[in-house]
Amino acid sequence: MGKLMKLTKRIVLLLVLLLIVGLGYFGYKIRQNVQQVTTYEAEVEQAVKENNIPEYKNLVLAIIYTESKGRTEDLMQSSESAYGKRQMIGTTKESIDAGVAFLAQSINQANEAGCDIWTAVQAYNFGLDYISFVKERGGKNSIRLAEEYSKEVLSPLLGNTEQKTYRYYRPQALVYNGGFLYSNGGNMFYADIVRMNEQFIKWLK
């Protein structure tokens, strides 16, 4: 019995140490990513001022963190909103300018519709039609509404009429539905992920 207790204690200690090391590595990677993203802070500050949304500088940095972690030319994955297809953006400045302009449009439409800021952020991923969808359902974004839109509207619109899904292992998804998204249905967790990354930006930049 004594040997079993000692073995159990050692296993628990090992698991705790592994958890501490894992959390330390996770924190180190987050800090690295934040430092990379904030190298574009000056360009973002200029773009949000030009688009009359200066109070959303950290939100834009969080979108950059979410979309690319600051490690590709198309920092904000702006190509589809600007050109209607991927891989058309050639410079980081063009990506920031197009991405911030689209976000400002989304925020303005959400404000006019009486929707919250996270509706605008989710619309950055889903497209602006999502704003009227949320307006008709209370004006406040939620994962439940985003899932309904992804499953019933966006996914079939883009060809997934059979509601096919694929694995998605982000914590938000694992907690909510075991970890999946609808094919061609955007990311229903997008606003929550951006919100989390905005906190990382505020804490670590």
- Over range 64-87, report the average pLDDT: 88
Domain 2-139+190-204 has CATH 1.10.530.10: yes
- Over range 41-70, report the average pLDDT: 97
Distance (Å, rounded) from C-alpha 20 to C-alpha 17?
A: 5
The pTM for the full model equals 0.89
Q: Distances in Å between the alpha carbon of 55 and those of 83, 146, 147, 174, 177?
A: 27, 25, 28, 32, 33
The confidence score (pLDDT) of residue 179 equals 96
The confidence score (pLDDT) of residue 14 equals 77
Main-chain dihedrals φ then ψ at residue 142, nearest 5 degrees: -150, 160
The confidence score (pLDDT) of residue 151 equals 97
The confidence score (pLDDT) of residue 35 equals 95
The residue type at 88: M
The confidence score (pLDDT) of residue 2 equals 66
The confidence score (pLDDT) of residue 1 equals 55
Percent of the chain with pLDDT over 90: 78
Q: Which two tokens stand for residue 27?
A: 């924190």
List the one residue out of 188, 80, 86, 93 whose CA is nearest residue 134: 188
Q: What is the DSSP string of 42-85?
A: HHHHHHHHHTT-GGGHHHHHHHHHHHTTT-SSSTT--HHHHHSS
Distance (Å, rounded) from C-alpha 117 to C-alpha 191?
A: 9
The H or E element that residue 136 is part of is none
pLDDT at residue 59 tops 90: yes
The confidence score (pLDDT) of residue 46 equals 98
CA dihedral 59, 65, 66, 69 (to 10 degrees): 160
3-state secondary structure of 163: coil
What is the per-residue pLDDT across 113-156, written as a single tens digit (0 to 9) for each? 999 999 999 999 999 999 999 999 999 999 999 999 999 999 99
